[in-house]
């Protein structure tokens, strides 16, 4: 996803990204925005000293969380921002500097699928895009043409755990063990079939 985001940043004025992780009835969303896009939402440098320090982040983030919660929606979930993870101090001159903020989306029932609506920076000119990465490596690009996506939730117990890769490794290890046994004479079968996707 990082390469895709870099390519989009080179061609778009407003590009953001998120990583979504599902844990039971909660979705943790780690968003990355550019400093200049956030500066278009709120006055960040409250004391006008040319930088945004932790105290200023604490004061401006609730408004940014409110905006993100309205513009990046997960049906049936209530959103809230996490003020425990503040962005670092940044100079206002570093407009393209990435800023990471964390939100939580809580559902009142077990999550089997997600309906995600995204209108982030729709009020900006051009074609703002948002790149969302889900557990398992699926990537969705939201833009003016694609604002609503339905996603099945899988692997809820261990979000992002690469089950398919583990299965490939286990199958290859089993195949190697069977071939070793066949070579040493413990296995008489001439045909061994182990499926590897």
Q: Give the pLDDT score at 8.
A: 42
Tokens representing 138 are 């699926």
Q: How far apart are CA 82 and CA 33, in angstroms?
A: 15
Backbone angles phi, psi at 95, to 5 degrees: -60, -35
* Burial class for 58, CB neighbours closer than 10 Å (0-12, 13-18, 19+): exposed
3-state secondary structure of 29: strand
- Is the predicted pLDDT of residue 166 greater than 50, yes or no? no
Taking all residues of the chain, what is their mean pLDDT, rounded to a whole number? 79
What pLDDT digit, counting tens, does each position of 50-64 carry? 999 999 999 999 999
Q: Give the pLDDT score at 183.
A: 55
Helix (H) or strand (E) holding 102: strand 98-107
């Amino acid at each position: 996803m990082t390469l895709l985001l870099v390519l989009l940043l080179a061609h778009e004025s407003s590009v953001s990204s998120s990583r979504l992780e599902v844990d039971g009835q909660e979705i943790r969303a780690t968003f990355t925005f550019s400093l200049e896009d956030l500066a278009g939402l709120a006055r960040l440098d409250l004391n006008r000293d040319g930088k945004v320090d932790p105290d200023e982040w604490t004061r401006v983030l609730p408004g940014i969380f409110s905006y993100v919660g309205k513009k990046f929606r997960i049906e049936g979930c209530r959103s809230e921002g996490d003020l425990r993870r503040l962005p670092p101090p940044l100079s206002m001159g570093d407009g393209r500097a990435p800023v990471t903020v964390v939100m939580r989306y809580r559902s009142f029932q077990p999550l089997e699928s997600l309906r995600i609506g995204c209108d982030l920076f729709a009020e900006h000119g051009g074609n703002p895009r948002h790149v969302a990465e889900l557990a398992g490596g699926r990537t969705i690009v939201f833009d003016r043409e694609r604002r609503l996506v339905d996603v099945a939730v899988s692997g809820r117990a261990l979000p992002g755990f690469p089950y398919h890769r583990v299965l490939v490794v286990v199958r290859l290890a089993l195949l190697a063990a069977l071939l070793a046994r066949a070579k040493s004479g413990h296995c008489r079968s001439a045909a061994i079939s182990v499926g590897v996707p």
